[in-house]
Structure 1
Amino acid sequence: MAFDLEPVAFSELPGWQQDDPTPVIDALRRCQHQVTAVKPYRTGSLGVSVADLLPVFEAAGAVFSSAPEARKFFEGHFVPFRIRPADRRPGFVTAFYEPEVEVRAIADEAFRFPFYRRPADLVDIDDTNRPEGMDPYFAFGRLRDGRIEEYPDRRTIEEGLLLGQGLEIAYARSKVDVFFVHVQGAARLVYPDGSRRRITYAAKTGHRFSAIGKLLIERGEIDAATVSMTSIRGWLVAHPEEVDEVLWHNRSFIFFREAPVGDEKLGPVAAAKVPLEPGRSLAVDRLIHTFGVPFYIASETLTHLDGGRPFGRLMLALDTGSAIVGPARGDIFTGSGEMAGALAGSVRNDADFYILVPRAAAARYRHG
C-alpha cells in the first residue's frame, strides 16, 4: 500500500504537551527484554528494525520521574513522521479490550458454552505444505488421514465437532460472551471462588474474519452511524432465535491457551510477546510496521477516552489483527473488564497517525 512519510516537529503533534508518555517507556523496557533475551521482532516493510530500536530500548532503562522528562526522552531519541496514505484519506482507529467472564470449570445447566484449547488435528500451514488450490490466506488447516484440508468452521464446531476430546478450558453462561471473547482474542476468566485465570489466543481455524456488525448494517438491523459493540449485543439479546445464524456468519473460530494473571494492571501478552499496557498499546499492520515502534495518534472526533478532550496520545505497537490493514490503521487497547469494554466498543474514528522513527534511522525516511 502506497504512502508517504512527512517529517514534522514534536510541537506539531496535537496535544503533545499535555500527554504523559511515561507508561510507554515502561513498555519499551519490556520489549528490550523480549528482543534481547528471547527473539527479535520481524522487520515490517517500512524498514524500521530492532537494530534501529535497540539504542532507544537501552536508554529507556533510566528513571523518568515526570511527564516533561518522559516527553524529553522521546524528543531526544525520535523523529516524528506523519503517515500520509496515497489516497490522502485520514487514518482510522478502533479499540479492543480484555473481557472478564464468569465461568465454571465443569458444565452445568446455566454454564454450558466452552472455551476450547487447540485441537491436536489443527496444523500450521505455510507455502511448504499448503495443498494446491487452498486459499493462501489460510495459516491453519486440519490434518486428517495424512492429508491437510480446510478446518471445519464455527458452525460445525459449535454443533459438537470437538465434544469428547477434553479440550474445554471452562464454560461461560452465554454463547454471545464466548463469541466476543473470540473477537477480542483474550479474556480473564472469573471462577466462583474468586480466582481468576487468563486465556489468550493460541490458534484459529484459518477462515477469514467476518464482522457481524457489518452484516447487521447491511440487513438494515443496525444504523451504521451508531453501530457499536453495545448496539450489536443489544440486538442479539433482543433476537435470541437469530443468534446462531448471525454468529455463524463469522466462520472463523479461535482456540485459546491458559495463562496466569500476573500484574493486574497489565493486559494479556499479545503478538509482541509482552503484556499490553492499557491505553498505550496499539495493534498495527505487522506487514508494514515493526513491533516496539512508538506512534502518536491524534483524533479530533475521539473524545470519550480522555474525558471529552480530543484524543492525543503516544502509543506503542505491540499487537496486530486480521482487520488491521494499512499504514494508518490501528486498534487501541483500552484495558480489562467491563469499563474498558464500554470505552472500546464505540471507537470508530478518523485519526492522524505519526510514526516515531529512531533518530539514527530517520535520515532514511526524510526524502523518500
Structure 2
Amino acid sequence: MSAAASPPVPAGAELVRIEPSTLPGWSRDDQRVVLRLFAKGCQTDPPLRQGIAQPEGLTRACAAAATLLAAGEPDLATARAFFESHFDFWRVRLPGAGTGFMTGYFEPEFEGSLTPSPAFPTPLYGRPPELVTKMPGDDWPGLDPDLSAAKRGADGLEPFAARAAIEDGALDGRGLEILFLRDPVDRFVLQVQGSGRVRLQDGSVIRLVYAGRNGHPYTSLGRELSRRESIPPAQMTMDRLVARLKADAGFARELIALNRSFVFFARRDDLPPESGPIGAAGLPLTPLRSIAVDRSVWPYGMPAWIDAEIPDGEGSSEAIARLVLAQDTGSAILGPSRLDLFVGSGSAAGHRAGLIRHPVALTVLWPRGQGR
C-alpha cells in the first residue's frame, strides 16, 4: 500500500489506512445511493451551521460525481469504483475500546397552531436578529469560551439569555413566535432533533429547520434523569425520558431548565412532503445514509463507512454496514468517532432512534492526495 496523506484527527485518535475490499459488506452495499447524494453537493453556501473548511479535494470529488451522474445512472460497479478511486479509506481508532459511539435521531412531528391558545401555549421562536453565532477561529475575549453564540448589544457581545430566562418571557412581545406547540416537552424534543414537522388543525404540515441556538452548552436530560432515579444508562431511551416528562409537568419544567441551550427555528415551506429534513450542511437528509458528525473535526460532505449492530425498532437487531454521508452536526456530537445516525421521520423512526446507543466502527473516506 502506497503512502497517503491522512485526514486531520485530534490528538489521541489513531488512523489506520485500509483497503476498501477489507470492509465487511463493501462489496454488497449499494454505493449508488450515496453517489446520488454526493452529486447534489457537499454543502450549501452558506450551510445552516458553519463547520470546518472543506478540503479542495472533497469539493472536486463532489463536482466529479455530478459530472458522472449527468451522463446517466451509473451501474453499481461504476459507483463503487468512483469512491475507491477518489478516496483513501482510514479507520478511526480510539485508545481503549477502539470503536466509536453512535446514537440515532429523527424528524419528529407534533400537533401545533399558528396562534397561541390554551391547547397550544408553548411558542417556537425564530432566530433573534441580535444573535451572533461563533465561527471557527473567532476569538471573543471576556466571554466564556464554551459559548457558541452571543448577543450583540450596544457595548459589544454579551451572553445570550439562557433557556430559563427565555421560558420566563425574555423574548416575548417581539414577534419572534412562528408556531405554538402543546407543551415544553414537545418543544424540547424538537430542539434536540434540530428539525421537525408541525401538523396544524386543518391537516396541513409546516416544515421547520434549525436557525441557530443561544450558545449555552447542551446538557443531557437523559443522563440527568438516569442519575436522579438510578436508571441504568442503557435503559434510558428517548421514549422513556419523554414519558417521564409528560407524566409530571412541574418536574418537566424543572428538568428541562437544566439544559441552558435553546434552539431557534425557521419555516421551510418550499420543502416537499416526501423530502427529508434539512441538515446542518443545508441539504436534505436521507434515512440510514446521513450522519451527524463533530463539525470541528470532520467536514460536511465527507463520505464514511459505518459498521454496527443496532436495534431494528421491533425488538430485534440489525447489522448495518454501509456507506454514509456527513451532512449534519449536533451539540452533543463531539469527538472524531462520535456519530448520530438519521433514522427517518415520524413516530416509528423516533422509537428506533431512541434505542440506538451502540458501538460503531468508523472508516472515513478522505480525498486522495489531500493532506492535513
Seq. identity, % = 34
Aligned residue in 2 for 1:224? 233
Query: Quick one: distance in 2 between partners of 1:285 and 1:19?
Result: 25
**Following TM superposition, by how much is the alpha carbon of 1:172 offset from its aligned partner in structure 2, in angstroms?**
0.7
User: What is aligned with 2:41?
Assistant: 31
Task: Output the TM-score relative to the length of structure 1.
Answer: 0.87
Match of 1:13 in 2: 23
Equivalence for 1:186: 195
Corresponding residue for 2:213?
204
Distance in 2, matches of 1:74 and 1:145, equals 51
Q: Does structure 2 retain, via aligned residues, the 8 Å contact 1:35–1:50?
A: no
Alignment deviations for residues 190-226 of structure 1 (CA, whole Å, 9 cap, x no partner): 1122222211111111100001011111113532121
Selected match of 2:224 from 215, 218, 233: 215
What is the aligned counterpart of 1:268 among 261, 277, 280?
277
Residue correspondence of structure 1 range 147-158 to structure 2 within 5 A: 147-158=156-167
Contact 2:42 2:302 in 1 (8 A): no
- Go from structure 1 to structure 2 and tell me whether the alpha carbon gap of 1:313 and 1:211 turns closer, same or farther (over 3 Å shift): same
Pair 1:25–1:47, CA change in 2 (3 A): closer
Q: CA deviation at 1:32?
A: 5.7
Comparing 22-31 with 224-233, greater Cα deviation is found at 22-31
User: What's the counterpart of residue 283 of structure 1?
Assistant: 292
Name stretches of at least 5 consecutive residues in structure 2 with no aligned partner. Answer: 1-9
Q: Give the counterpart of 2:148 among 139, 147, 150.
A: 139
- Does the 8 Å CA contact 1:292/1:316 hold for their aligned counterparts? yes
**CA positional deviation for 1:85:** 2.5
The residue type equivalent to 2:20 in the other structure is F
- The aligned residue for residue 107 of structure 1 is 116
Q: Residues of 1 paired with 2:274 and 2:31: CA distance?
A: 16
Secondary structure, counterpart of 2:169 in structure 1: helix
1:59 alignment counterpart: 68
- Hey, what's the Cα distance between the residues in 2 that align with 1:124 and 1:32? 22
CA RMSD in angstroms, aligned pairs only: 2.8
Q: Determine the C-alpha separation between the residues in 2 that align with 1:260 and 1:58.
A: 30
Task: Return closer, same or farther for 1:305/1:361 CA change in 2, 3 Å cut-off.
Answer: farther
- 1:59-110 deviation digits (Å, cap 9, x = unpaired): 3444336555533443344332211234553111111111111111111111
The answer (yes or no) to whether the contact 1:32–1:57 under 8 Å persists in 2 is no
- TM-score normalised by L of structure 2: 0.86
In the alignment, structure 1 segments of 5+ residues that lack a partner are: none
Residue 55 to residue 81, structure 1, CA distance change in 2 (3 Å):
same
Aligned counterparts of 1:68 and 1:263: Cα–Cα separation in 2: 32
